[in-house]
């Protein structure tokens, strides 16, 4: 098993699924994690098929494991299973995330905690579980934040707070883990093809409020992200509109927050950036 091994959480759809396919094409063995094992197993079969055919000398393996990063112990077990199967880990991408709409007074403490358990503590759990094998391989750790981690988005207090926390954590981790030879990358998507705007944590489906012409296709985003990870970049902002929003947020954050508040009243899902 000399090929690099990539582990991705939240891989059953959207950016996670696209990243799994992209890294399989680039020669990685891929471990896909998530709560929907049926979708993961179908994806794993597709990933394994990418290792066959004309010109493909090495068979690439894929492993699908049920894992909820908001539950203590599950990501640790998934990493142990990965090492048992492949003997190494070279890249871990913490992609799992959820969103709950609502201004602060419209949400409960339980809802706020639910978002943080997945979006922030899920990344922490993944980092703790992957640290030792990544230190051994001098590999890379990446987590998917959001453009919402740069700008305060009224109407999405839980989601925005979680993404600010992710950005701060990864910025610190990037410096701390450099001495171990581990590259840390903050991935900040704008509007990318994803279920986060169309599927609520309770499973209910909603219409994507963002016009299709604004939304970047997940495979396109995955190629850009994979390039950044291969270059061991500390941060990548995905989508042109995301880059613009981040630059405005750095120079006129309160003005931008007011503009987003106005947009939020017209486009209910505007604040969910991935």
**Largest Cα span, the chain:** 58
Query: What is the Cα 61 distance to its own chain's centre?
Result: 22
The CA–CA distances, whole Å, from 218 to 195, 235, 270 equal: 11, 18, 18
Spatial separation of the C-alpha atoms in residues 66 and 172, rounded to whole Å: 29
Q: Give the pair of three-digit tokens for residue 228.
A: 């950044």
Q: What angle do CA 214, 145, 44 make, to 5 degrees?
A: 85
Residue 7 burial (10 A CB sphere; 0-12, 13-18, 19+)? buried
What is the rounded distance in angstroms from the CA atom of residue 84 to the CA atom of residue 217? 34
Q: Which helix (H) or strand (E) holds 66?
A: strand 62-66
Concerning whether 159 is annotated as a catalytic residue, the answer is yes
Which residue in the list 141, 156, 159, 270 is annotated as catalytic?
Answer: 159
Catalytic residue positions? 159
């Amino acid at each position: 098993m000399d090929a690099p091994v990539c582990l991705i959480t939240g891989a059953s759809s959207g950016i996670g699924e696209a990243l799994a396919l992209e890294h399989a094409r680039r020669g990685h063995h891929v471990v896909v994690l998530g709560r929907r094992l049926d979708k993961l197993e179908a994806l794993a079969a597709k990933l394994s098929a990418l290792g066959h055919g004309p010109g493909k000398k090495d068979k690439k393996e894929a492993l699908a494991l049920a894992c909820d990063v908001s539950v203590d112990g599950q990501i640790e077990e998934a990493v142990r299973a990965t090492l048992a199967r492949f003997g190494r880990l070279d890249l871990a991408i913490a992609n799992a995330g959820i969103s709950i709409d609502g201004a602060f007074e419209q949400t409960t403490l339980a809802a706020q905690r639910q978002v943080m358990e997945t979006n922030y503590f899920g990344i922490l759990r993944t980092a703790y579980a992957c640290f030792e094998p990544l230190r051994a391989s001098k590999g890379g750790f990446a987590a998917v934040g959001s453009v919402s981690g740069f700008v305060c988005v009224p109407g999405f207090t839980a989601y925005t707070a979680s993404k600010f926390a992710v950005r701060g954590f990864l910025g610190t981790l990037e410096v701390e883990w450099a001495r171990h030879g581990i590259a840390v990358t903050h991935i900040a998507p704008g509007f990318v093809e994803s279920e986060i705007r169309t599927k609520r944590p309770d499973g209910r489906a909603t219409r994507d409020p963002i016009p299709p012409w604004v939304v970047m296709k997940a495979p396109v985003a995955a190629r850009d992200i994979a390039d950044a990870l291969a270059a061991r970049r500390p941060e990548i902002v995905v989508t042109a509109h995301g880059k613009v929003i981040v630059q405005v947020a750095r120079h006129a954050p309160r003005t931008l927050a007011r503009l987003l508040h106005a947009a939020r009243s017209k486009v209910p899902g505007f604040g969910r950036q991935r």
